[in-house]
Structure formats: C-alpha cells, structure tokens
Structure 1
Amino acid sequence: MIDKNLLAKVLFGLGQCVFLLLYPALSQRATAVLMAQASPISPDTPPEPALPEDLLPPLPPPEELLSPDESPAPENDLGEGDATFYVADIQIVGSTVFESTDWTDLVEPYRNRQISFNDLLQLRSEITQRYVDAGYLTSGALIPPQTVVDDTIIIQVIEGELEDIIVNGTRRLDTAYIRSRVGLVAQPPLNVDELLAGLQRLQLDPLIDTVSADLQAGVRPGTSLLVIEVVEADSFAVNTGLANSRSPNIGGTQVTLGVEEGNLFGIGDRITLNYKHTEGSDGVDFSYTLPVSPNNDMLRVAAGYSDSRVINSAFSVLDISSDSAYYELGYRRPLVETPTQAAALGLTLSHQSSQTRLGLDDIGPFPLSPGADENGRTRISALRFSQEWTQRSQRHVLALRSQFNLGLDLLDATINDDAPDSRFFSWRGQGQWVKQLGKPGRLFFLRGDLQIAADDLLSQEEFSLGGGQSIRGYRQDALRRDSGALLSAELRWPIARVPEWDGLLQITPFIDMGTVWNHNGNNPGTDTLVGTGFGLLWQQSDNLTARVDWGIPLVDLDTDDSGLQDSGIHFSIQYVPF
C-alpha cells in the first residue's frame, strides 16, 4: 500500500521543480501583464505636484489694500513774491532714483536767465510730480535755506522711506513672516506701486484671509509708518477622498485621509500626512516644507511607505506582495512671484526602494520586474532639476513645468550590467491651459504631458497611460513604457446651479490620447490609446468636489474586465470637512 504522506511529499517536490523550471516564462508573463496594469511590483511613487488650474481671484481695489500718506512733502522757501534774480544753473541733489541727466528737460528752461521764486516753486512741483508718476508718492523736492554761490540754486530731493512696519491682527502667524515679505518691496526709496504689489501677493497667501494697510506720516521728514491689519486664514485642514484611481490588481478603489497644518510653528511651515488604502494596499505619505527666506525659498523633506498585494485572481496562486518607500530632500527658489505671474526653480535629491515577494511555498523575496536583484529589490537614487512657470488672470491660466531626472549610483542604488538600473537620464515636460469661455464656470482645459528617456528605465520611472487622470476609458496604468506623450482636452459647461448650497453642476465632454514607447525600440503590443466621453462634475463651495466620467475606448486593449475602470467608469469624491 502506498504511503499517502510520502506520495504527497513527492508530488509537492515535483511541483516545486516544475515551478522553478517554468519560472522564467511565468515571470516574464506575469511581469508583462502586471507591468502593463501597474502591479504592486511597480511601487508607489512620490505624489506629483499638480499644475495650477484656478483662475486669478478678484483682488481688492488698491484703495482697500493701501491707504497712502497724502501729507505734502516738506518745504522750506527762500522767499516770496515775484522778485526776479539771475540763475546760471540749478542742481538737483539727493536722488537715487533718477540720474542727473533725467532732470535736464525740467531744469533747462530755468538756466541762464532771470527767474522768480514762484518759478522755483513750479520747478520743485514738477520734480515732485515726476517721483509721484513713478510710484514714489512719499518722495518730493524742497528748496533748502542756502547761500547762492556762482548763481547756482540747489534743490534737495527727500526720498521717502519706511520708519517702521507695524502688524496687527495675527493670531498664530509670527509678525516677522509678514514684516519680512513686505520689507522686500518697501526698501528705500519707498515705491507705493511696488508696495501695493507686495500686499496683493500677501492677499493671495493661503495663510492670510484679508490684508489692508495704512501709510501714515512718520516722525522724521520723508519717513512713513506702515500699519498692516491682517485676518489670518484657517491653516488646518482635513481632506478625505474616494476614487477608483488605482490598479485593479491591488484594488481599484482607494480611500484617502489627509491632515494638513499650513502654519505648524507660526513661521509659515507646512506639514502634511496622508493615508491611503485599497483592498490590497496601504500607504502613508509625509512632507514638511519650511520657508527659509522672505522670497519664499522653500526647503522640503518628504517620505512615504506602502505595502501591496495582488488580489487579482489570475495571480492568486503566486501570492505576490511588495513594499516600497521613498525619501526626498528638495529646495525651491522662486524667480518671479507676482499675482499674475510666477517662475521658480527646484532641485530635489530622491531615493526610492522596493521589494517584491512570492508567498507561494514561502519563497519570499523574489525578482518580478526588470532590473530587480535576486531578492526582488530595486533602489533608485536621483537628482531632479525642475523649472516652473505660471501666468494667470481672471480669464485664463497657463502653467508649464519641466523636470530633468539624473539617476545616480548613490545610497546602494541598483546597478546592473544590461538591465535597467539607477543610472539613467530622462526629461519630463507638462503643460496646462485653462480658458474661461464667456460666463463664469464655462471652462476649456487643454493638458499635455511628455517624457523622453535616454536609457531603459526601472518601473518607478516609466511613463504610464490609462486611468481617470490620464486616458479615460482604460484602467489605471494600462500601458507603461520608458517614454510617452499625452494630450487631453476637456470642456466644462454649467448645467445647473444651486445658490443655497453654493453648488455648481457641470457636464464635461473630453477626449484623451497618448502613446508610449521603450528606449530600446522593443514595443510589444498596443502602444497608443485614445478615449473619449463625457462626465459630470459637482462642486459645492470649497468643501466638496465629486465627478464621474464615462470614457469610451477607441483603441482595443485586452483586459480581464474586472471592474468599473475596464467599463470606462472613473469617479472621485473629495471632501474637506474643515
């Protein structure tokens, strides 16, 4: 009689041998399918910054932001009446704004002739007016007491400056945060136009609800006192979300919960903590941003961790799981920052790591993606140089972003002879144009995304297509390659308003198209996706945003039709309770 236990052990051993013999083909097949569908062996990547899409909000009129000091410039007269005297030359001293040649057109009519003191007063007024026209409302000219030498008259310019900046109304925000930013545009000589632009930038600061200022006469001649009244905005927020924005392999529907404090220590420093969950994954993201100068230079640190397992029944026998982590240290330097235009440079050092495992027969760590080592690990260290430019008005927004990515052999990064590794170079460019069409709420969106890779890339660096934020009508990350391009157009047209809820319902017809390719020229299967359709978008105040899109795929792509995404349905709900 055959021993059943012995037979079971023999069959199990044979099964192990067959699996190991067939593993290369199985691995390639599983990798190809999973990579095409954003499997957990392609670990979570750091959140990408969204391009600005909000139109410029109406700014308060200048008279509400700033009440200028209208006290006259100091005067000191030489005399009165219409008596005339000979003047050979007139010298204007004390000006740092204008060159001596800038006064020629004003002074020349009064040289080498008999003039009256009233003529000098007229010239003094013309000099003061030139300052006022240039925005220097607190600057002016005076005629000081003097002994006339060589028939030369001296006119003294007193250029205005701030004696002090007083900030009232702050609660948690350090007054130095406001004083330092206003101080940048209030350097002597004081230009009221530049000061007004600085106050407008403060009005757009998310930490400030309203700001107004009063320019008062100072103690000393030519000085002013700036009194700023501030109402702080609420800097704490909780964000919740629900969306089918993840790969169906790990559970397509994701729940998110985020907490943000925009003024942690009262210096404008921001901390965020986000948790995300699907049926097969959990992850957390953390970031801390510290302003290091009044110019809004920012130092940022970020980290994240996630673990995932494949819940797709087609791969259940393998029991695939993975974990990944990332760390970032970045610096952002604004070059231009006005209410209508912004430009900035950024430099980030990042490190990403991931590891895949097979639960079958407790195999444990195992490579399932190109470039992974024998323990299923990949590590990427990279230096990322970004450039951003935004122009916006109350009618349109144009935002462009460029980023160069240089992979480095640092921090035990993955290095291979032939397979993809941490040594790579790629460039990514993104752009978005938003145009208001007539009445508020009628918006046209045009969005583009392009990545060009000079090397074969590990999966974390690849360009993907498919999903609610990419090509609607296809599942999330339906295609993934080294390089790719995306173009999307969408119209948002109001169909209903609910004033008592501050609600707006829009219909959103769209068309998305994109293509991907590998650096080595090996592009198996479909490489182009096109989807079109329409959706509904509901926005209620600043607290609730909900949308659902139905995308119709115009290019066939084989999938297992496992859920809403494969039926072309994409939805998202974002709620900010407070």
Structure 2
Amino acid sequence: RRSSDLADTFSLQLIADNGRIPSVGSFRRGLSVTEANLLGFGDRINTAYTNTDGSDRYDINYTFPINARNGTIRFDYYGTDSEVIEEPFDRLNITGDSDRFGLTIRQPIYQTPTQDIAVGLTLSRENSQTTILGEEEPLSVGAEEDGSTKISAIRVFQEYTRRTSRSVLAGRSQFSLGVGAFDATINNEPPDSRFFTWRGQGQYVRLLAPDLLLVVRSDIQLSTRALVPLEQFPLGGYQSVRGYRQDVLLTDNGVFFSAEALFPVARFGEGNVLQIVPFFDLGRGWNVEEEDSQENDTIAGIGLGLQLRLGERFNARIDYGIPFNEVDDRDENSLQEAGVYFSITYTPF
C-alpha cells in the first residue's frame, strides 16, 4: 500500500486520566495503536497498554468483515496485573491478576443513512486470581478456595442507532447467561459462574447550537442471582457518578443516569473550542439478597467541568463533582477522592 493509504488507516492515541480505583493507583496513563485496514480487506486491529502505580493492563482486539452487509467477527483479549498500594493494606502484599477472552459475531439487520439495527452473539471467558502475603487466597465473594474465579458466559445483544443532522440516539441491550462449562467456578451457593442478567445502555446527544451540546446517558443492570464482582454493576467515579471514588458501589443490580451540557465559552481557530460543562449524575445499586445491600445504596452528584478541544487531535477535560451524600469515609488522598477527575487524549496521527 501507498504511504498515504497507511496514514489514512493508522492512528496512535496517548491517554492520561485518574479513572482507576485508588487501591491500585488512580492515575492511569497509556497508549492505543489502531490499524483500520491491516491486511487490506477492511480488517481492523487495536492494541493498547495502560498502567497505574499498582497495575498494568494489556488489550488487543481484531475485527474482520464476513459479508457485504457489514457483518463482522471480533476476537478480543485483555490481561491485568495489579497490586494494592493503598495504605494500610499495602503491607499485606495483596495482588490480583485477571484476563478475558472473547469472540463476537455482529450482524446489522437494518441499515439506512439515518438508522442502524444490529444483533450479535459473544462467547466470553474471564479468569481472576488473588493472593495475599504470597499465598493464593479467596478475597472476593464467590471465589474458589485457591483465590480463583472463572466465568464462562454467552451474551446476546441488540444495538440501535438513529442519526439526524442535529442529534444521535444510541441504545444497546444485552442478555448474559453464565454457564458452568470449561471448568468454570461452581459453588454450592451463589454467586458463581451460573447467572442470568440483562443490561441496557442508552445515550442521546443533541446539538443545540454550534459547539453547544446536550449529552444524556443511562445504564441499567438486572440480575436473577447474586453475582461475583467480575459481573457486578459499578457506580461512582470517572465516567460514572462524579463526586465519589471509583466503583464506590459494586452491586448485582443497578441503574445510572447522567446529563450534562457543553457550553462554548471561547473559540480560537477552526475546530478549537473551550467549553464549560455543568453536569448531574445519579446512581442506585442493590443486591439480589437484601441483607447484602449497602445502607447507602443511592448516590448522586452535581458539578462543573471544563473541556478544551483542539481539532480532532487533542482533548483535555477536568471535572469537579460534589456528592449529595457520603457512602464511605473520604480520606481525599487523591484527586479522585476529592471529587476531581481529569482526562487528556492526544492523537498525533
């Protein structure tokens, strides 16, 4: 291929944010590399690496077309190695490793210039292992005696997108069935690899004026059984309910709602804008077994953000969230625990 073709399909992105849980270090940095036409027939590969002071994560996925109606098959893998660095638990030498393999078949069944409907099937396998003081020990609900948790699941999803000249509406529904195949974790009592959940996600983006956007997001999960932490619904923190530490609530069932408006306050040059972003976030989580539910199961926050966008290559944002209620003792040892969240993305090419 010509070098100009490569330039059109190859991209590199650098990221930095404080979106990880404080126990392994909230400050995350990394890079992502994408080639959108690897072998010349519309196949796409993406690799990414991110880390914090206490964790490393590796991601790779490969997608290729299977028919003329935009059907695709996708293989994906991620692996994470982490250790607890938060005092006073850092003295216990707690480590956690996890990985996930997935195979997804996705097929659009209705496509027009303004609407898309697609269905798909994912087969996934996720494994985790925890240790304390160098010994394999179960540190989470549902783990086996050696500290491992193994989840085999079949997931069926449906996706809908509607576009107009001023708005985009997107929705996704997914049913997940956990099974006991391939040496998955099976316990006498839940939670284990056997479960059934439904998750629905939606987003609406409306252009109210040039560079003035309204963004509304929602997310819900319902489960028939108690779940292992790998399958639970997280609430709190970066890209969730701001004003709280990351994943302050982790429950079987949950609902999340967020609304924000991006107001332009300064423009300089074409495609460069500074925006102020008032936002409101709300979440509620509860467990299948009522006695396992937390006392403060509803969290909400309000706040203000500032976003700088320089064309398509650079974006920086900082948010400050004020919690409506406290669900834990906020030590404020990090920006995240003080309600401050930031993210920077730079795409040099």
Q: Give the TM-score of the pair, scaled to structure 2.
A: 0.97
> Aligned-pair distance for 1:557?
2.2
CA distance in 1, matches of 2:318, 2:218: 21
Inter-partner Cα distance in structure 1 for 2:233 and 2:269: 42
- Tell me the amino acid that sits aligned with residue 555 of structure 1: N
Residue 19 of structure 2 is aligned to residue 245 of structure 1: yes
Alpha-carbon contact 2:307-2:315 (below 8 Å) kept: yes
Q: Does 1:541 align with 2:323?
A: no
How far apart are residue 338 of structure 1 and its match?
2.4
| Kept in 2: contact 1:303–1:328 (CA 8 A) | yes
Deviations along 1:482-515, one digit per CA (max 9) or x if unpaired, are 0000111101110000116x31111100000010
Task: Please state if 1:357 is matched with 2:131.
Answer: yes
2:29 corresponding residue in structure 1: 255
Q: Which residue, out of 256, 267, 285, partners 1:516?
A: 285
Q: 2:157 aligns with which of 363, 386, 405?
A: 386
How far the C-alpha of 1:314 sits from its partner, in A, is: 2.0
Query: Secondary structure in 2 aligned to 1:443?
Result: strand
DSSP-derived class of the 2:91 partner: coil
Rounded Cα–Cα distance in structure 2 between residues aligned with 1:233 and 1:576: 13
**Shift in Å at residue 232 of structure 1?**
8.7
The 5 A counterparts of 1:191-270 are 234-270=8-44
Q: Deviations over 1:152-175 (max 9, x none)?
A: xxxxxxxxxxxxxxxxxxx569xx
Runs of 5+ consecutive residues of structure 2 not aligned to the other structure? none
Q: Distance in 2 between matches of 1:497 and 1:283?
A: 37
Deviations 1:200-243 (A, max 9, x none): xxxxxxxxx9xxxxxxxxxxxxxxxxxxxxx8971000011000
User: What is the Cα deviation at residue 339 of structure 1?
Assistant: 2.4
- How far apart, CA to CA, are the structure 2 residues paired with 1:380 and 1:548? 36
Structure 2 counterpart of 1:300: 74
Deviations along 1:465-484, one digit per CA (max 9) or x if unpaired, are 11120001111101110000
5 Å-filtered alignment, 1:107-256, equals: 171=1, 234-256=8-30
Residue 371 of structure 1: CA displacement? Answer: 0.7
Question: How large is the Cα RMSD of the aligned pairs?
Answer: 1.5
What is the aligned partner in structure 2 of residue 480 from structure 1? Answer: 250
Is the 2:264–2:275 Cα contact (8 Å) retained in structure 1?
A: yes
Contact 1:370 1:419 in 2 (8 A): no
Give the secondary structure class of the aligned counterpart of 2:230. helix
TM-score normalised by L of structure 1: 0.59
Report the Cα offset of residue 524 of structure 1: 2.6
Identity of aligned residues (%): 46
Q: 2:173 aligned with 1:402, yes or no?
A: yes
* Distance in 1 of aligned mates of 2:16 and 2:6: 30
- What does residue 419 of structure 1 align with? 190
Q: Number of aligned pairs?
A: 347
SS across alignment from 2:191: coil
Contact map agreement 1:274 1:286 (CA 8 A) in 2:
yes
> What is the CA–CA distance in structure 1 between the aligned matches of 2:171 and 2:118, rounded to whole Å?
11
Higher strand share: 2
**Paired position in structure 1 for 2:214:** 444
**1:133-165 C-alpha deviation (Å, 9 max, x unpaired):** xxxxxxxxxxxxxxxxxxxxxxxxxxxxxxxxx
- Whether 1:489 and 2:259 are equivalent positions in the alignment is yes
Contact 1:172-1:266 at 8 Å conserved across structures: no
Return the structure number with greater helix share.
Answer: 1
Q: Is the 8 A contact 2:190 2:225 kept in 1?
A: no
The SS at the match of 1:317 is helix
AA of the residue aligned to 1:537: Q
